[in-house]
Structure 1
Amino acid sequence: MIAYVTVGADDIARAKRFYSALLPALNYELTESPEGLSYVLPRQSDQSAPLPDFYVKPTFDGAPASAGNGAMIAFEAGGQQQVRDLHSAALAAGGTDAGQPGFRASYGPRFYVGYLRDPQGNKIALFSSNPDEPGRDG
């Protein structure tokens, strides 16, 4: 099980604008500290902490942050409309388009996805596989 994901950022304010345009809509709560941004899912009193946490931080070695070639982080949305809405919000908040929301022929018939790059260049996917919504073939 993945416990947390961390991406580096050279401009924390810019990263905050981008990630705050989409993660709160997916129920992540933001905590800020001198070490960066921490987005966590709320815990119910009768459960252990939900995972994964998502952190945006300056690099530990002081070198510029960089995006991994072939690395991508995917967040699950509640439905196709939320994928479209969050993709648009993230673009307005400083992200760049890496693939408009829609179905992809190489994925399953219900996998609806949009791709973005955050201000640092990290690739982000927003997807839905909601069985109550129309699929690619219908």
Structure 2
Amino acid sequence: MIVHICFGTTDLERAGKFYDAIAKELGAARANATDTAIYWSKPGSGIGFAATIPYDGKPAHFGNGVMATIGAESQDQVDRMHAAALANGGSDEGAPGPRPNGMYCAYWRDPDGNKMNAVAMGG
């Protein structure tokens, strides 16, 4: 079982602003922060996501083929998360809409290039 997802960042302050906006749309918020990492979760759910300066001191970079998926409660929530990502320095990787698999999805990259998506089942 996955406990949480963590993405590396080259700019913790920028990552904080970006993921604060995404977390807000999920009803989540910062749960903890250190000089090198920020953690977000929904109350009572444990840590769900973290952004961190890499511990090895090397530059952060995204993985090709790596993506984190966020379960959304509705198509509207997918739309809001995608809009929040783009409004806070993210880039579009696939506009919100129905997909052939019967899901409603949107895709984006954070300012460091990490790929994410949100999905509402049965879209």
TM-score when normalising by structure 2: 0.92
CA distance in 1, matches of 2:75, 2:85: 15
**2:104 aligned with 1:112, yes or no?**
yes
Question: 2:49: which partner in 1?
Answer: 54
Question: 2:35: which partner in 1?
Answer: 34
% same residue: 37
CA distance in 2, matches of 1:20, 1:90: 10
Q: Aligned Cα RMSD in Å?
A: 1.4
CA distance in 1, matches of 2:29, 2:19: 11
Question: 1:67: which partner in 2?
Answer: 62
**2:23 aligned with 1:23, yes or no?**
yes
CA contact (8 A) 1:2 1:51 kept: no
Q: CA deviation at 1:73?
A: 0.2
TM-score when normalising by structure 1: 0.82
Q: Which runs of 5+ in 1 are unaligned?
A: 44-49
Which protein is richer in helix relative to its size?
2
CA distance in 1, matches of 2:27, 2:34: 20
Q: Which runs of 5+ in 2 are unaligned?
A: none
Of residues 73, 80, 90, the one that matches 1:95 is: 90
CA distance in 2, matches of 1:118, 1:80: 20
How many pairs does the alignment contain? Answer: 122
